[in-house]
Amino acid sequence: MTVRLYDTRAQALRDFAPRDPSNVTVYVCGPTVQSGPHIGHVRAAVGFDILRRWLEYRHGRVTFVRNVTDIDDKILANATDAEPWWALAYRIELEFTRAYAAVGVLAPTYEPRATASVPQMIELIETLIERGHAYAAPDGSGDVYFDVRSWPEYGSLTRQSLDAMEAAADADPRGKRDPRDFALWKGAKPEEPSDAAWSSPWGLGRPGWHIECSAMSRRYLGGEFDIHGGGLDLRFPHHENELAQSTAAGDAFARYWVHNGLVTVGDQKMSKSLGNFLLADDVLRERDPRVVRYALGAAHYRSSLDLTPASFDEAEAALGRIRSFLQRAARVLPDGSAGRAADLPVAFASAMDDDLAVPQALAVLHETVRSGNTALDAGDHDAVAAAVGAVSAMLAVLGLDAADEPRGDDAETIALDALVRTMIDQRAEARATKDWTTADRIRDAIAAAGIVLEDGPEGTHWSVNRG
């Protein structure tokens, strides 16, 4: 029952031992809201949602923080006279929220915006200056930088030598002691909006990107917390800089570092800068959101995921097999027996404990579906009920359960059921009188409407062909 996670800093699998086993604390870097989410953002959110659900299963409570970076160079660059930076940031934040909710990502315990924690950022910067790890630019620009040479452990997360690193490109190099020093505070510039600046001991300005997460994680989780998560592309410089400034300020910071793999197109990382991205809204408009979740979550979270139309087709077919089994089972089980809670299969739990091995966990899920169908064919209703309970429990852990809840009480479903059953009765009457031409014509008309018929000992049942 010990969860093992791959710790990026240790570059090894480690047994997960939270500070408080009854309350796991997780901080995940959320979006910089300069433009709408692409499917890579959604993949990351699904991966950490599965991690959260599994930790909740094992530990009962998870305090999950995912921030919103709502002040940044790119946000200011994308703002217009008609849509100020703060309005753009809020609109895009809502787009991310809708995309996450559509695929069943649980809402964070806290979702702080960077602009709401500026006093905490200033306090952290002052601590770094007092400890000799940061300095204000001597040119009076208002810039403040982290002194990377003052912290011997700088580079420990990504195991890089300081002298081999490129210059930090996150701020104007004016006043830097070393090109690799990174910005903690950016002095206001005349061309930037006046409402994008805050008062500070160094003059009007705004926080650098990296200091935001250090201040927000400390504010909501304390100076030491269990897991820091984010995309593989955030390891450097963002997470390296977070680790340096937080530990230099005296915080123990994250005990484990967990990074998800990227979505690729060909062999290239999907990104807005490369222009090779799939917008989440476009994908969710064309595909069932649960199909999207299955496709994004089916690969191991640390692997690269090369998405193609076939990825979604395969996910749709897999969910269709699960749904078909649950529908078949619901028709033969007594009311209530299909909803009984069940323990997770041991093999499923073992796979999830092993660094969230979702591909192996899905193999257990589909094997349970196959055995459940075999039990249905044999009329073994006790085995069917056990399989339904196990399948339902596994779907809940993976966040896929809502897709498979039977829905028969809405007006559209009731009306469609009445029409299809009328045609089924007409087909049965034609077959009984050996009017094969009419029976075949009705069957073909039903199939053309995307309806699948299943003839069995309990009669004929229908379902929508979903792939």
CATH number of the domain that 220 lies in?
3.40.50.620
Same domain, 144 and 216: yes
Same domain, 432 and 319: no
pLDDT digits (tens, 9 = 90+) for 237-253: 999 999 999 999 999 99
Taking 50 as the threshold, does the pLDDT of residue 464 lie above it?
A: yes
Residue among 393, 460, 457, 396 nearest 423 (CA): 460
How does residue 438 score in pLDDT terms, banded at 50, 70 and 90?
confident
Q: Do both 149 and 200 map to the same domain?
A: yes
> Do 90 and 220 fall within a single domain?
yes
Does residue 388 sit within a domain? Answer: yes
Residue at 359 is within a domain:
yes
Is residue 350 domain-shared with residue 440, that is, in the same domain?
Answer: no
Single out the residue in 389, 404, 419 at which a domain terminates: 404
In the predicted model, what is the mean pLDDT of residues 121-140? 96
pLDDT above 90 as % of the chain: 77
Q: Is the pLDDT of residue 20 over 60?
A: yes
In a domain, 69, yes or no: yes
Q: What is the mean pLDDT of residues 46-54?
A: 98
Domain contains 30:
yes
pLDDT at 405: 46
As a whole number, the mean pLDDT across the chain is: 90
pLDDT at 65 over 80: yes
The answer as to whether 11 is a domain residue is: no
* Structural domains counted in the chain: 3
pLDDT at position 450: 75
Pair 330, 196 in one domain: no
pLDDT at 408 over 60: no
Q: Considering the chain, what percentage of its residues have pLDDT values greater than 70?
A: 89
> Quick one: pLDDT at residue 56?
97
pTM of the model: 0.85
262 and 323 inside one domain: no
Residue 161's Cβ-count burial label (10 Å; 0-12, 13-18, 19+) is exposed
In a domain, 286, yes or no: no
Q: With 90 as the cut, is the pLDDT of residue 365 above it?
A: yes
Q: What is the pLDDT of residue 456?
A: 57
User: Given this model, what pLDDT does residue 444 score?
Assistant: 82
12 within a domain of the structure (yes/no): no
State which of 404, 428, 451 marks the end of a domain: 404
Distance CA 298, CA 360 (A): 9
Residues in the chain: 467
- The more confidently predicted of residues 437 and 432 is 437
pLDDT tens sequence across 175-226: 899 999 999 999 999 999 999 999 999 999 999 999 999 999 999 999 999 9
423 lies in which domain range? 411-464
